[in-house]
Structure 1
Amino acid sequence: MKPERNNPTEVFENYRRQLRAFIARRVDSEAEGEDILQEVFMRFVQTDTVNPVGQVAAWLFRTARNRIIDHSRKRREERMPQMHGQDDESGFVSEITALLADESSSPEMEYLRALVWEEVEKALGELPAAQRDVFELTEMEGFTFRELAEDTGIPVATLLSRKHYAVKYLRSRLADIYEAFLTD
């Protein structure tokens, strides 16, 4: 027997304020937050129509987090946010970030930036989702480990471990690019 569909109006009324606050803490503008909120509820209605959602709150917050990450990835293509190199003792991530953020517009620099960005995206895509999410949220979105722990319920030590493995992998995976383009 298939579970019963949720009432979209009730779901919207019950979770709108909490989701709006959750999203607002993670995005730059109110307009962007409203867009994400609308996307989340639109996806909920579409999904619930086909396959009723059992744990509504968990589904909504997970979808909101994923929409926030997707929006931040789109923004990263336009500009590279400042990174917080806490785990970057060698300067490796900082140097790659500096290259990506360099606003020089020579054809060579644009090609190099596109090439490096493509490799960074590939490397991030190769990480396990948990490691990638922690890396992106702390390094590119500026979240603290404490904020992530509060939002996800995952202990700070686990988040730190995941990020450590992500940074270690990225350093290894991007070492050739680092050597070829960023060292003398």
Structure 2
Amino acid sequence: MHDREKDLIETVFDEQDNFIRYVRRKITDISDMDAEDIVADVVFNLYNKVSIEHQVESILAYAYRSIRNKITDYLRQSKTSIPLDKIDSASGLILAEVIPDPQANIEIELQNEEVRQQLYAALMELDAKQRAVWVATEMEGYTFKELAEKWGEPIGTLLSRKSRATKALKAKLKAAICEGVEDEIPQ
């Protein structure tokens, strides 16, 4: 390691906190991570310049000038983020309440979860062989030919088990749905 590289490492180690404070003084609304990113980028560039033997008279002065230039670049970047706690002038509500999340339809999620639970309960009531063939074909993606080879069963037997399983599942799920509708009807 050359003397200039040692000087740079020593300077950066001694001055790192001062560099970050300098960035925070110049940009009051900067996050800690962004301030550290600016300093890290400058240090990386400094190290590359020193390691390829560029002559820099004062490493510390060069570092602060580079940080100031990075701060200018940071301030020139367009700020597209809007705080969600800002009050919407039209409605008087905070933006988080005004902006709906199309992915967050809780009613549909609850219905899907309820259907999954009903299906699981109905599957558990099936005969083990019927359940195995239904799960293997419908949920795991096996073909009847693959299952016949894997389990050593005739395809016709597997087809009839699945048919019986499907009929039983439909009946159990229909009963569960009807029961749920009856629970919602006021007496």
User: Structure 1 length normalisation: TM-score?
Assistant: 0.40
Larger relative contact order (CA 8 Å, sep ≥ 6): 1
User: Structure 2 length normalisation: TM-score?
Assistant: 0.39
